[in-house]
Structure 1
Amino acid sequence: MQSIGYLLGALLVIAAITQLFLWLLRQWDARIPRILVANALSLFLMTVLRAIGTADGGEPNFQKAFAALVIPQIVWLVIGLFREGRAARSAADGASIWAETSSAPAAGGQQTVDPENAAQVSDPGAPYPAARVSGIERGDAAVKSNNFIARHWRGEFPLWVSYWIFGFLANVAALVFAAGVSAALSSSQGYNPINVLGTLVLVWTGICLILVWQLVGIWRSANRHVERGRWRLWAGLAKLAVILGLLQVAVEFNQTGYPQIREATRMAFLDDPDIPAYAIRIMRNGTEVEVSGGFKYGLNEDFERILKAAPQVKVVHLNSDGGRLGEAEKLYRSIKDRNLITYTAARCASACTLAFAAGRERWIHPTGRLGFHAPTFPGMKAGEARNASSTQRALMVSSGMASDFVSRALSTPNESMWFPKHEELTAARVVTGVADVYKFAASGWGTTISREQMEQRFTEVNSLFATLKSVRPADFAKIVDEMNAGYLSGESEGRLIDAARARLLPVIGSYRPLADDQTVLDQGRLMVDQYKALASIDRQLCYEYASGVGATKNYASYLPADLRKRELEINERILKTASSRSPISEKATEPYWEAVINRLAGRFGVDNLQILAEKDLSPAHRAQYCDMAIAIYEEILNLKKDGAVMMLRHNFQNLAD
């Protein structure tokens, strides 16, 4: 389908260029050679223009351009030869009829011929003898139009009038049509690919007709200028300007018109194949909706349909790399009209950021990103790009975003992408804030994710789950099933993580005393560092984590990234190195416990050690409990390796029970 569309488009352009060369060579009586030369010149010119137009700043590939154009040029050559053959046969038939008519006697036995045209009628070399019959030429002259359009076309005006006055008027008309191109690409006119394509075709057709009228009139006026005996130099310069103007239009169409029409055709009839399909998902009992995939024609219409079916929607999740700016503007207005909240959990870039700007509140996930750059469209010039940017800029600024931020965002070249930091987004009022993982439904993983895709995501994102899958496949399957069901039902990411941790931590805990010696020691050191990190924030957190009072809380969110990374790596080692071991008895650890208790008594006092045994500890003693929990593991790690490993295994064994 795409190849057929290209062939038809190339044929149209090649036909126009070839006919132009045929017209320029019209004084050459050798018809077949004239057709061959015109087609050769057309192929040469189109090859050069295409190679330069598609070079994109690199070296022109003339061989590739020639290969792309030679077939449609040959097709048009065959059509031209066929038409010439048919015209020759028609002319021969007409000449035969004329001969029979002219030899027949008129009424009264005499043949009546206009004396003024007798020589022409009897001249066997006259190409169209019937045209010389008296009265026909006078009849043609009688119906000639005398308006300025027809007179310029025939070249009847003086050369200076045709060149300067009508040349200027034609340029003004062409600029008006060029403004129509900008209007067709403007999202304010309503984004519809069929309308865009139709407007582009009509506009470029109009431009070509105006310029052909302009250039043909100037050329014919130049010929008359010479026939009147005027200075040939001005006529030659005018014709040179016509040729240069024609080349300029051809280059302009190759660089602007053809790319625009080609892109609009793909948008209208091929479903915009370069932009991925979009998807819309309802979540949290119809209160939130996710839009993902590409912004292409039809998205806003489907979005409006979803909102009518679920009028209680309050939040729109936008997880997209963008697409058509016109569709993004329509989505912007739909979100704005309903006073919705916008949120991105993964990535909202390019045209997606315009829809994001419409939110009454605008939130971003802790790992989410917003990407900005200038808009573009094939064949779009700098001025047209600025117009598109001005519309987007006005909407973003009117939504409360800082003007200088928007200017920087939309001045980023389209070939690149600017991803500001969360601090920059907040300072420029682009986002209301960074949402915690419990605020909105989980999104950004795909709107129709299957269990298999969820499993693949788990194993790719987190190597711990890949290890769990190989060691405890049943536990891994339960976690995946619960996560998949929770995601599709609209649970928050925080709730999903808590559920996964609730499943995962007991498994890790049961394997912890069975890990190898080095992993056991590293786990002990990790716990000391975790307690200290939580204590630096709030000793209440440290107490809850160390005592197990807050077992359901996600303490990992309070820990720095390096500790979270260490915990993940150690947990993975626990699963990989765990092996069957005999339980460690209480009696075997008594000598080591005695040494540890004596050291703790020296640091905190004997009377205070009872705090460690109390289950319902008063808030006044919780800070001291945290300090003592840290001290216990420090003193255990200060023992010799065998004793430290035994004590830690025994402690992990008790925690698992």
Structure 2
Amino acid sequence: MLVRGMRMVNTVLIGVAAIGLLAAFEVWRTGGAIYSLLGASIWLAPLFLTRQALGQNANAQAVRTATIANFVLMGFCGVGLLGGFVRGEAGTTANAAVARAVPVLIFAGLIVLNLRALSRRTQDLALAASSAISPRDAVFTIGSDVPSAPAAVSQPAEPPARGRYVMRHWRGQLSLPVSYWINGTLVATLLGMALPALGKLFGVSDSLRQLAMFSILAICVVYLSWVWSFVGIWRSAGRHAMRGGSTFWAYAARGSVLLGVCAAVGQMVTTYGPELREFAALAMGRDAIGEVDVKPSPNGEAVIVWGTLREGSAKTVLKVLDRTPSARTLILNSNGGRLLEGRVLAQAVRQRGLNTYVEGECSSACTYVLMAGVDRAATPNAKIGFHRASFSGMDSAVEGAAVKSMLDYYRKAGLPEDFVRRVSTTPADTVWYPSREELLRTRILTRVALRSEAPGMLMQVASRDALAARLKTSPLYRAFDQRFPGAVDRAAERAWAVKTRGGTDTEMGAALRGELKQAMPGVLRQASDDALTEFVKLLAAETNAARNIGVEACSHFLEGTLDTSNALPPVLVEEETKTIVMLLNSPPQKPRQQDPYMADAMMRVALQNLTKDQSRALTDKAFGARQPEARCEATLKFYRNVAAMPRPAQSAVLWSMYRR
């Protein structure tokens, strides 16, 4: 009755599982993960095998296969039940936990009934085999009509165990307890303890290629040991009954092996497979995370590192440094890369006593190098980013070791614990950019560079004509040359004179801006009121941005010496270019004469909400130089007041500012 009933139950469950398999296939076909499809297949197979084994025509082998499959399914139920409680969030109610557990327990109960039915089916098959004795098997005594009992069939003797311990386990000649608990469980535990130790290798070798080769070897050894362990347990379980052991434990051992094989395959797909691909590429010198460009500056005083710190980057940088003995600064523009490369390069920076400087970005592994510099500077627009360590296919144990290594490095560098904690909570696929104040407070930066200290395109031009040609590709200088023919050639001449005297890129840029600065008063004098209003609004926004950087930056901006392209936000730099191009392209207009008395009155209105010190700082140049903060605040208030005035009053003030 139990056998027939469970066969019907399994038929119904097969139908339910088949519907689930079709749904999982549809999800996978539309771009979903394949794991749901594999999971549905795993649930369907034992049900089908059990139904076949409970049929009238099933043999002992089919029953054994179905029994093992049900033990495997029971294992999955146990893992799912345990995982549900482990993943339970804090504050989950007891009712919610029970609601998650009930479906699993119900299915586990059905599996227990399947195992009972299969056990009953095994007894039926054994009984049928013992009663089916042919006349040839009957042994008659001489002179007797009564057949004697059939002679007992002796079990074949197990061949004697020979060879080394490793081969005896491989052939299944060791006892099942030794094969399972010693060569299976103990070996797996030791390997589980050894694999996280691979993470510590990130600080052992200076060669990422050597580390990759060692990691490939370690993973191969792990999987070979698993194959050796699984095969030995499977074969020993097949001989367990012959040795007088329990058939139940033999089936349980083989079910455990099947679970282990599934787990090993899953780890290969999700973890070790991606890691092997990454390690293989690194071992062959084919790092796919990006490229790095390293070259000395034109004046030989710096080495520029641009790109991702891939395998071999540290060695490349060191070669360039060796060829550039006069270099005192490492200019960084990198989104990160391999932590080991960053660590090796940082050590070289410390040993050589180099300075570090950033204009663009320095994130992740690049921060190792930045913090190793003696003088650590960055422009206000520079982005210094942090996040957790990551590696393709990294499991939780190895990831934890890599993250701990990174955090320990930051702690040894002197970063405060709250800063390190923030790094540890930033996922690897995002980047945290601390504020300028945080970077200075934690001494990641020793100062903020208010003007570019890196050689740019100006230092790399070969001649004055080449410089003029390059300037004319810029919308700003192209509009400047159209408004004042020959102005770009004059500006290039001034900048080239600076270069020939040995001047820096910054000094060449100042010479170029000087030519434009001389022309701007005439441009503003002939601009319309609408254009001048936009210009005043731009000045207010730029003054505010400079003030946010600091009083020194604000003073440099008001004096016209701030490198706005590297100091101010990019959106303001772009707006500045658009506004000046608009002023240069606007047709000159004859300014309308204003009443001087009215203009003075409106100017007083624009200054009325300034304090006494602010008014003096704005009108008295010497006092303003001694009180830069008051001068900065006064200028910002004045620009905002002018921008907000009604048009007649605003026109009078603009006339006083630019046309009087």
Following superposition, the deviation at residue 187 of structure 1 comes to: 4.2
SS of 1:227's partner is coil
**Residue equivalent to 2:313:** 299
Q: 1:359 aligns with which of 365, 369, 373?
A: 373
**Residue equivalent to 2:178:** 161
- CA RMSD across the alignment: 5.5
Residues 260-312 of structure 1 deviation map (CA, whole Å, 9 limit, x = unaligned): 1111223344632331x212232373332221111012221122222222233
SS of 2:356's partner is strand
Residues 148-206 of structure 1 deviation map (CA, whole Å, 9 limit, x = unaligned): 2222222222212221122234324534663564355x24322332x234323322221
Aligned CA distance change for structure 1 residues 560 and 435 (closer, same or farther; 3 Å)? closer
Q: Would the aligned equivalents of 1:508 and 1:574 in 2 still touch at CA under 8 Å? A: no
**Residue equivalent to 2:384:** 370
CA distance in 2, matches of 1:466, 1:362: 37
1:505 maps to 2:529: no
- 1:132-147 equivalences under 5 Å are 145-147=162-164
**Residue equivalent to 1:226:** 241
Q: 2:583 aligns with which of 574, 591, 611?
A: 574
Q: 1:514 aligns with which of 521, 526, 551?
A: 526
Q: 1:238 aligns with which of 231, 247, 253?
A: 253
Residues 214-259 of structure 1 deviation map (CA, whole Å, 9 limit, x = unaligned): 1111111111112234321111111111111111111112222211
Following superposition, the deviation at residue 428 of structure 1 comes to: 2.1
Following superposition, the deviation at residue 333 of structure 1 comes to: 0.7
**Residue equivalent to 2:188:** 171
Residues 470-497 of structure 1 deviation map (CA, whole Å, 9 limit, x = unaligned): 6568545776898899999996675354
Give the aligned length: 479
- 1:631-650 equivalences under 5 Å are none
Q: Would the aligned equivalents of 1:188 and 1:326 in 2 still touch at CA under 8 Å? A: no
SS of 1:437's partner is coil
CA distance in 2, matches of 1:647, 1:397: 59
Following superposition, the deviation at residue 524 of structure 1 comes to: 8.3
CA distance in 1, matches of 2:467, 2:310: 27
Residues 122-160 of structure 1 deviation map (CA, whole Å, 9 limit, x = unaligned): xxxxxxxxxxxxxxxxxxx99x84332222222222212
**Residue equivalent to 2:33:** 60
Residues 548-571 of structure 1 deviation map (CA, whole Å, 9 limit, x = unaligned): xx7x745989x9999999876653
SS of 1:366's partner is coil
CA distance in 2, matches of 1:485, 1:435: 25
**Letter of the aligned partner of 1:316 in structure 2?**
L
**Residue equivalent to 1:315:** 329
- Which TM-score applies when normalising by structure 1? 0.59
Residues 617-649 of structure 1 deviation map (CA, whole Å, 9 limit, x = unaligned): 9969999xx99xx9xx99xx9997999599669
CA distance in 2, matches of 1:224, 1:563: 80
Aligned CA distance change for structure 1 residues 484 and 238 (closer, same or farther; 3 Å)? farther
SS of 2:268's partner is helix
Following superposition, the deviation at residue 520 of structure 1 comes to: 5.2
- Which TM-score applies when normalising by structure 2? 0.59
CA distance in 2, matches of 1:268, 1:205: 15
- 1:393-408 equivalences under 5 Å are 393-408=407-422
CA distance in 2, matches of 1:244, 1:380: 22
1:285 maps to 2:303: no
Following superposition, the deviation at residue 437 of structure 1 comes to: 1.3
**Letter of the aligned partner of 2:205 in structure 1?**
Q
CA distance in 2, matches of 1:509, 1:219: 91
Residues 65-112 of structure 1 deviation map (CA, whole Å, 9 limit, x = unaligned): 9xxxxxxxxxxxxxxxxxxxxxxxxxxxxxxxxxxxxxxxxxxxxxxx
Aligned CA distance change for structure 1 residues 498 and 163 (closer, same or farther; 3 Å)? same
Aligned CA distance change for structure 1 residues 328 and 222 (closer, same or farther; 3 Å)? same
**Letter of the aligned partner of 1:240 in structure 2?**
G
**Letter of the aligned partner of 2:235 in structure 1?**
R
**Letter of the aligned partner of 1:441 in structure 2?**
A
CA distance in 2, matches of 1:300, 1:447: 26
**Residue equivalent to 1:341:** 355
Q: 2:168 aligns with which of 139, 151, 155?
A: 151
SS of 2:389's partner is coil
Q: Would the aligned equivalents of 1:347 and 1:369 in 2 still touch at CA under 8 Å? A: yes
Residues 401-432 of structure 1 deviation map (CA, whole Å, 9 limit, x = unaligned): 22321232133110111001011112222221
**Residue equivalent to 1:188:** 204
CA distance in 1, matches of 2:195, 2:278: 17
CA distance in 2, matches of 1:418, 1:289: 27
CA distance in 1, matches of 2:367, 2:225: 41
CA distance in 2, matches of 1:618, 1:208: 78
Following superposition, the deviation at residue 510 of structure 1 comes to: 3.7
1:267 maps to 2:276: no
SS of 1:317's partner is strand
Residues 11-70 of structure 1 deviation map (CA, whole Å, 9 limit, x = unaligned): xxxxxxxxxxxxxxxxxxxxxxxxxxxxxxxxxxxxx9xx99xx9xx83148999xxxxx
**Residue equivalent to 1:12:** none
Q: Would the aligned equivalents of 2:458 and 2:508 in 1 still touch at CA under 8 Å? A: no
Q: 2:218 aligns with which of 195, 203, 226?
A: 203
CA distance in 2, matches of 1:453, 1:175: 64
Gaps of 5+ in 1: 1-47, 66-140, 602-616, 653-657
CA distance in 1, matches of 2:355, 2:180: 60
Q: Structure 1 vs Structure 2: percent identity of aligned residues?
A: 24
**Letter of the aligned partner of 1:192 in structure 2?**
L
